């Protein structure tokens, strides 16, 4: 009998809306989004006092990725707010990227209105909904992205425009080259790790198999990989419908490591996945090793995933793609459809009624 992850007919029946097909388009969607963002006139955005990204869930993670990318490169701070209320410092010097795929997320709508009223200059990234309507009413420039996808599968379309604006505004050198490399690499990796590559030679399928029946604990070995670890956790939650947790070195050494002390307790349920970057500083590599020796022995398994590529954007997104695929494969192994997120839909519905 063909192994489930290598059986295209079985996968089609488990994934009627083709989440896996969307996941492997990350590189194409990134390029498309980047081009849409580059069309925007970015005058006034050259020297922001502060950049604020607003967005929830699948629309907020793009902000986390942007922040990690600019951390060591931009001469200003990037803050990501996933809330109704923007910080009190928001004012005319702030440049705001308000992202909501549907355009109807109440937290983002409220934070956008408040930032706008505080005098911040905003750009909206959305496929439609109330956010686009309100942007039109306020005269806010808008990057209108194609609709019809689950927001988390539109990551390339949400991150791409922000990178396009960043490139037009000249925030950092070489972003266009980074996007081109990332898109090329992601297409290559999509075939290396994608559904057509048999499990015996596919590390993403292999890792998904190890995660069945366990709680994934995703650790970023360093700051660059931090948003990738968060993305892994949220994709495991939404696609595989499993509980998962995440953290980042070195901070986790100052608290979470102690929580691994009780051998024979729930740790036996945990599978640790460490997201590594070939350019991780030696000090952090050593930290990961020592942590593994001291604390992680009780885990059911320990895995490392190494970023690929050269530009930081390519390295970061290679980790994202690997995790997205693992989450879809784990959904298949759990026999759940990766696309519906009934709990999120119900929450939004009930809150809208209230
Ligand atoms: C659904 C998903 C969610 C949404 C979030 C915000 O695929 O990933 O996390 O992204 O509920 O909705 P939007 O993105 O429409 O603002």
Contact predicate 271/277, CB 8 Å:
no
Cis peptide before 22 (omega within 30 of 0): no
Select from 53, 57, 105, 156 the residue to mutate for testing ligand 1; criterion: most ligand atoms less than 8 Å from CB.
Answer: 57
Kindly list the catalytic residues: 238, 254, 348
Task: Give the separation between CA 62 and CA 173, rounded to whole angstroms.
Answer: 19
Collect all residues with Cβ–Cβ distance below 8 Å to 220 and sequence separation of at least 6: 226, 228, 229, 246, 247, 248, 249, 274, 275
Domain ranges of the chain: 19-173, 197-333
Which pair of structure tokens corresponds to residue 134?
């309100």
Task: Give the separation between CA 79 and CA 122, rounded to whole angstroms.
Answer: 14
Ligand 1 lined by 152 (C-beta under 6 Å) = yes
* Tokens 């922001």, residue located: 48
Ligand 1 lined by 58 (C-beta under 6 Å) = yes
Write out pLDDT tens, residues 242-270: 999 999 999 999 999 998 876 556 667 89
Q: In what order do the strands lie in the sheet with 270-276?
A: 245-248, 215-220, 270-276, 301-306
CA distances from residue 241 to 49, 88, 101, 271 in whole angstroms, order as listed = 40, 36, 21, 16
Indicate the length of the chain as a whole number: 354
pLDDT at 324: 98
pLDDT < 50: residue spans in the chain: none
Ligand 1 lined by 241 (C-beta under 6 Å) = no
User: If you take atom 5 of ligand 1, which residue's CA is the nearest one?
Assistant: 57
197-333 shares the fold of 19-173: yes
Distance (angstroms) between ligand 1 centre and the Cα of 94 equals: 24
Q: Give the single-character DSSP code of 239.
A: T
What is the dotted CATH code of the domain comprising 19-173? Answer: 3.40.50.10490
Ligand 1 lined by 105 (C-beta under 6 Å) = yes
User: If you take atom 11 of ligand 1, which residue's CA is the nearest one?
Assistant: 57
* Tokens 């990318």, residue located: 69
Distance (angstroms) between ligand 1 centre and the Cα of 101 equals: 7
Distance (angstroms) between ligand 1 centre and the Cα of 57 equals: 5
Ligand 1 lined by 52 (C-beta under 6 Å) = no
pLDDT at 208: 98
Choose the CATH number for 197-333 among 3.40.50.10490, 2.80.10.50, 3.60.10.10, 3.50.50.60.
Answer: 3.40.50.10490
Ligand 1 lined by 126 (C-beta under 6 Å) = no
Q: How many CB atoms lie within 10 A of CB 26?
A: 27
Distance (angstroms) between ligand 1 centre and the Cα of 7 equals: 30
pLDDT at 264: 59
pLDDT at 265: 64
pLDDT at 268: 74
Write out pLDDT tens, residues 66-105: 999 999 999 999 999 999 999 999 999 999 999 999 999 9
pLDDT at 262: 62
């Amino acid at each position: 009998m063909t192994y489930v992850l290598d059986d295209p007919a079985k996968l089609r029946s488990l994934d009627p809306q083709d989440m896996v097909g969307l996941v492997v388009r990350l590189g194409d969607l990134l390029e498309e989004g980047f081009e849409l963002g580059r069309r925007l006139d970015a005058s006034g955005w050259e020297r922001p006092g502060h950049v604020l990204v607003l967005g929830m869930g699948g629309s907020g993670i793009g902000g986390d990725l942007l922040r990690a990318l600019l951390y060591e490169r931009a001469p200003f701070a990037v803050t990501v707010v996933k809330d109704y209320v923007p910080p009190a410092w928001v004012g005319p010097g702030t440049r705001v990227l308000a992202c909501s795929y549907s355009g109807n997320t109440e937290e983002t709508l409220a934070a956008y209105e408040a930032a706008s009223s505080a005098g911040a200059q905003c750009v909206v990234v959305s496929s439609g909904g109330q956010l686009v309507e309100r942007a039109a009413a306020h005269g806010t420039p808008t990057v209108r992205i194609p609709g019809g996808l689950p927001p988390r599968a539109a990551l390339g379309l949400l991150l791409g425009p922000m990178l396009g604006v960043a490139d037009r505004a000249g925030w950092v050198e070489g972003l266009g080259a980074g996007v081109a490399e990332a898109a090329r690499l992601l297409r290559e990796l999509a075939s290396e790790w994608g559904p057509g590559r048999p499990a015996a030679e596919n590390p993403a399928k292999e890792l998904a198999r190890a995660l069945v029946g366990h709680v994934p604990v995703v650790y970023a070995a360093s700051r660059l990989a931090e948003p990738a670890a968060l993305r892994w956790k949220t994709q495991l939650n939404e696609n595989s419908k499993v509980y998962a947790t995440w953290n980042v070195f070195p901070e986790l050494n100052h608290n979470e490591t102690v929580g691994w002390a009780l051998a024979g307790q729930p740790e036996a349920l945990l599978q640790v996945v460490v997201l590594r970057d070939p350019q991780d500083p030696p000090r952090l590599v050593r930290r990961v090793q020592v942590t593994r020796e001291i604390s992680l022995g009780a885990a059911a398994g320990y895995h490392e995933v190494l970023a690929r590529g050269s530009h930081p954007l390519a390295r970061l997104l290679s980790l994202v793609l690997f995790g997205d695929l693992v989450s879809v494969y784990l959904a298949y192994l759990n026999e759940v459809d990766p696309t519906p997120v009934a709990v999120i839909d119900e929450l939004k519905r009930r809150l809208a009624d209230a």
